[in-house]
Amino acid sequence: MADLLWVEPVGGIAGDMFLAAALDAGVPLDELRRALATLPVSGWRLEAAPAEAMGIRGTHVEVVVDGPQPHARALAEILELVRRSGLPPRAREAALGLFDRVGRAESKVHGVPLEQCRFHEIGAVDSIVDCCGAAVVMELLGWPRAVATPPELGLGLVKSAHGLLPVPSPAVLEILAGLPVRPGGPPGEAVTPTGAAILAGLFELGTPPPLRPGRTGYGVGRSRWPDRPNVVRFTLCDTLEGAAGGTGEPLLLLEANLDDCPGQLVARAVDAALERGAVDAWAVPVTMKKGRPGLVLSALCPASRREAVVRAFLEESTTLGVRYRAVERTELSRELVPVETPFGPVRIKVGRLGGEELNARPEWEDCAARARERGVPVKRVLEAAAAAWRRRAAP
């Protein structure tokens, strides 16, 4: 089984596109239907068919509604439907986290207390199936490490139950707060709230490690963009092992000495290196010739990203040159596991070596977002998430 899932929102991402890409890559439709049939919601069926966008063959998914459905549902009602389902425990918990994430974003955007909100889009049966289906897909794949390329969010206006909204919609921006995204994109809603929740709740957003691609699938959406196919690409991969036989990959260490660079530019150079593919970047103080204080700006990056990261150093700092050398490291396998806290869902980054758990830490951005939403110190959210993980991991 592949140990990495790489998703590329080429033409955006929505919940149905994610399911379609998974099916196109070989996730069994019958098993997905069987799991989703345990939801206590009737009057719908999941249909999948071949489709094409700009010459790319893929799969299109529709949640076909056969009977009357509620006009809107409260978040508590949606969560209760998921809790009463027969989804596998980990998939059920992940789905709850996705709905909670979208619900809190909508509540904040519209300025209505969460318990008083009635949700139109996320309360619809297709959104319920999409979010639960995304969690089931991860379950059927064995919960590989999941990395997604930061999405372009789209341009223009989109019609919603509240009228015309700017693209990206306020809820999408709130769901993706603190995560890397790219402005621009196709003229329309490239990323829906359910698509944003899947990215934020189940994936790391960034550059994947060196990999060996395996099965690939394309999920085809309803829209037709003028400049790109409206598809999500879904690739199941094996990560490459390091030359030393560990679980990491060979890397380059890049360094530049700085003695005339303002601190703000150093911070920007660190950020730019990470944006362009470095797996880590930092600066440390040193004493240079003639006793002058200085800094060494450093980054670790895959060899394939060397030119991009070197350029970030040269563009964003005052250095005239960058040196680099090959290094090796042993890396723990990682996965993001959602847990429920009194403040909302938080992902735990779990590090394992040979299947043995060695590290488990709450994701800072999740904790910071929950703290902002609830008006509490971040350390309280960190403590609650760590406690939730300990309870879950207890024998």
Residue 261: give its domain's CATH number.
3.30.70.1380
| Length of the chain (residues) | 395
pLDDT at 246: 36
Average of pLDDT values for 284-309? 91
3-state secondary structure (DSSP) of residue 394:
coil
Mean pLDDT of 311-336: 89
- Looking at the predicted structure, is the pLDDT value of residue 244 above 50? no
288: tokens are: 């240079």
DSSP assignments along 281-339, one per residue: EEEEEEE-GGG-EEEEEEEEE-GGGHHHHHHHHHHHSS-S--EEEEE-----EEEEEEE
* Residue type, position 205, single letter: L
Please check whether residue 203 lies inside any domain of the structure: yes
Q: Structure pTM?
A: 0.70
Tell whether 339 and 314 lie within a shared domain: no
Query: Which of 279, 297, 327 finishes a domain?
Result: 327
Pairing of strands 344-353, 323-327: unpaired
Going by pLDDT thresholds of 50, 70 and 90, the confidence category of residue 161 is low
Total count of domains within the chain: 3
The type of residue at 365 is E
Do residues 157 and 259 share a domain? no
Q: For residue 243, is pLDDT > 50?
A: no
* Digit-coded pLDDT (tens) for 169-179: 888 999 998 88
The DSSP string of 228-241 is S--EEEEEEEEEPP
Enter the DSSP assignment of 191. B
Q: What percent of the chain has pLDDT over 70?
A: 94
So what's the pLDDT on residue 241?
47
Q: What is d(CA 368, CA 38) in angstroms, rounded to the nearest whole number? A: 34
Q: Are residues 367 and 322 in the same domain?
A: no
Distance CA 85, CA 37 (A): 9
Could you tell me if 294 and 173 lie in one domain?
Answer: no
Residue 8 has pLDDT above 80, yes or no: yes
Considering the domain boundaries, does residue 245 fall inside one? Answer: no
Picking from 67, 65, 52, 66, the residue whose alpha carbon sits closest to that of residue 20 is 52
DSSP string, 136-177: HHHHHTT--EEEEPPPB-B-SEEEETTEEEESS-HHHHHHTT
Does 244 map to a domain? no
Q: Look at residues 276, 305, 327 and tell me which one is the last residue of a structural domain.
A: 327
Query: Measured between alpha carbons, how far is residue 38 from residues 18, 175, 236, 341 in Å?
Result: 20, 27, 27, 25
Asked if residue 268 and residue 209 are part of one domain, the reply reads no
Query: What tokens were used for 58?
Result: 């893929």
With respect to residue 246, please indicate whether it lies within any of the assigned structural domains. no
Domain assignment present for residue 8? The answer is: yes
Q: Indicate if 165 and 94 belong to the same structural domain.
A: yes
Q: Establish if 46 belongs to a structural domain.
A: yes
Q: Do residues 103 and 51 both lie within one domain?
A: yes
- Return d(Cα 296, Cα 324) in angstroms, integer: 13
Tell whether 339 and 315 lie within a shared domain: no
- The CB-side HSE value for 326 (13 A sphere, CA atoms) comes to 7
Per-residue model confidence (pLDDT) at position 255 = 97
Which structural domain, as residue segments, surrounds residue 32?
A: 4-239
Q: What is the pLDDT of residues 101-145, one digit of tens each?
A: 888 888 888 777 777 677 766 658 898 999 999 999 999 998 888
Taking the chain, what is the end-to-end CA distance rounded to the nearest angstrom? 26
One domain for residues 167 and 268: no
Q: How far apart are CA 210 and CA 248, in angstroms?
A: 10
Last residue of a domain, one of 305, 327, 349: 327
Check: CB of residue 23 under 8 Å from CB of residue 48.
yes
Q: Which residues pair with 126 in a beta bridge?
A: none
Same domain, 304 and 174: no
Same domain, 220 and 72: yes
Instruction: Please check whether residue 371 lies inside any domain of the structure.
Output: yes
Cβ-contact 266, 297 below 8 angstroms? yes
Q: For residue 316, is it within any domain? A: yes
HEC letters along 73-137: EEHHHHHHHHHCCCCCHHHHHHHHHHHHHHHHHHHHHHCCCHHHCEECCCCCHHHHHHHHHHHHH
Q: Are residues 129 and 208 in the same domain?
A: yes
DSSP letters for 359-386: EEEE-HHHHHHHHHHHT--HHHHHHHHH
